[in-house]
Chain A
C-alpha cells in the first residue's frame, strides 16, 4: 500500500486556565513528500507557539520540559531573555527557626508579563526547550479512502442555558461524497433551527427576554471557522448584560456537523 505524510494537529483544547492535551489528533493536510509535510508542520507549530502560553498548559514546570528550571533560566539568558528570579530556600534566622522550601516560580505569570518585550525570535527561542508541549506532528500513513460522517451536536440544559459537548456528538450516517454529507447536514441544520424557533428561541423576537433569544453557550466547543489556538470566541459585547442566557442564537450555533474520516477497506 502506498503511503503519504499527514500533518496532524494534536488535540490541545482551551479550558479555564489554559490549554490541555486531550486524546487524539485531527488531520490537517497530506503530502507525498515528507519535506513538504514537515515544512507545513513547522509553520503551523510556530504560529501556535506565538499564541499559546506554554506554562498555562501544565500543572508543573517539569511537565513541559525535561530541562531543570535553572538550566532553562541559563538558556533564556543565552537568548537575551531575562528569566524570573530563582528563589532559594531559607534556613531560618541565623540557622534558628523553621527552614522553608523555596516558593514555586509562577512561570505562567512570568511568561505573560515578559512576552510583550520579546521579539518573535526570542519567543520561539524560549519555546525551543519546551519539547513536551508540541501542537503538530507529521505521520507517515497508508493512503486510504475518505468518508464523511454527519454527527448531531448534543445540546444539554443546565436550567439556565444550553451547552454542547466540547467536540463531536452522535454519529448519524457516513457518506461516500462530501457534497452529499454537506447537503444533508445543511438540511438538518435548517430543520432543527426551525424547531428551536418554534419553541421560542427566536433572536428576532424583540418582545422576548435576552436569555430566550440567545440561549446557547458554546462553552469549550469551537466554531468550525475558529483558530483552535486563540481564546474561545465570546458572544458580542452588547449581550453581556444578560447573566442567565447562553448568549449565542439559534442561527449562530451548530446542530449538525460533517466530520471527515479515513476508511480502511478490507476485502
Chain B
C-alpha cells in the first residue's frame, strides 16, 4: 500500500437505542450529518461493495426488524399488507393512544412476542424479508472513498 492511494472504506451507520420507552434503532443523523463508524478498508472498490452487501444481509438476518419502528409505519394496516404478502399471521396490535410514541411503546412487546412465535424455522431469512418490506430504503452499511496518508 502506498501513501495517497485510494481506499474504499465500509462504514456502519450509528444508532441511538430508544424511542421514548421502546427500544429502537434511530439513525444518528442530526444537523451535523450522519455519524458513521469506519469498520473495514479495501483497495478495490468492487471488493468493498461486495463485502458491504454481505454485511448488510448479515445485519438484516440478526437484528430484529421491529427495531426500525418508531412512527406511522408501525400500524395494523401496514402489518396486514406485509403479513399477507410474506405469508405470516397478522399480530393483534393496539390502535389507540394519545401520541404515536405511546402507540409504539404499547405495540413493541406485542410485535416482539409475535416475531418470536411466528417466524418459524427460517427465522433469519424471514427477518431479512421483513426489513426489506417495512424499510426498503434502510441501509446499515455504506462505502466511502478515502485516502491513505
Interface residues on chain B, size class: 35 or more
Please name the residue on chain A nearest to B147 by beta carbon: A173
Tell me which residues across on chain B come within 8 A of A23, comparing CB atoms. 12-13, 55, 59, 62-63, 140-141
B21 at the interface (CB under 8 A from A): yes
**Interchain CB contact (< 8 A) of A24 among B7, B30, B39, B144:** B39
Tell me which residues across on chain B come within 8 A of A264, comparing CB atoms. 40-44, 47, 51
For A, the interface residue count at a CB cutoff of 8 angstroms equals 51
Instruction: Show the binding face of A for B, using Cβ within 8 Å.
Output: 13-24, 58-63, 104, 145, 147, 149, 151, 153-157, 163-171, 173-176, 180, 219-220, 259, 261-266
Query: Are the C-beta atoms of B31 and A166 separated by less than 8 Å?
Result: no
Query: Are the C-beta atoms of A266 and B44 separated by less than 8 Å?
Result: yes
Instruction: Digitize B133-149: 1 where CB-to-A-CB distance is under 8 Å, 0 elsewhere.
Output: 00000001100101111
Instruction: Give bound CA distance, A154 to B28, whole Å.
Output: 10
Q: Using known A-B contacts A63-B116, A156-B32, A168-B37, determine if residue A15 contacts B17 with beta carbons closer than 8 Å.
A: yes
Instruction: Give bound CA distance, A197 to B147, whole Å.
Output: 31
Query: Are the C-beta atoms of B36 and A170 separated by less than 8 Å?
Result: yes
8 shortest interchain CB distances as A-B pairs: A165-B35, A15-B17, A62-B116, A156-B30, A168-B37, A165-B28, A59-B112, A154-B32
Please name the residue on chain A nearest to B25 by beta carbon: A22
Query: Are the C-beta atoms of A174 and B147 separated by less than 8 Å?
Result: yes
Tell me which residues across on chain A come within 8 A of B55, comparing CB atoms. 23-24
Q: Using known A-B contacts A165-B28, A173-B149, determine if residue A265 contacts B43 with beta carbons closer than 8 Å.
A: yes
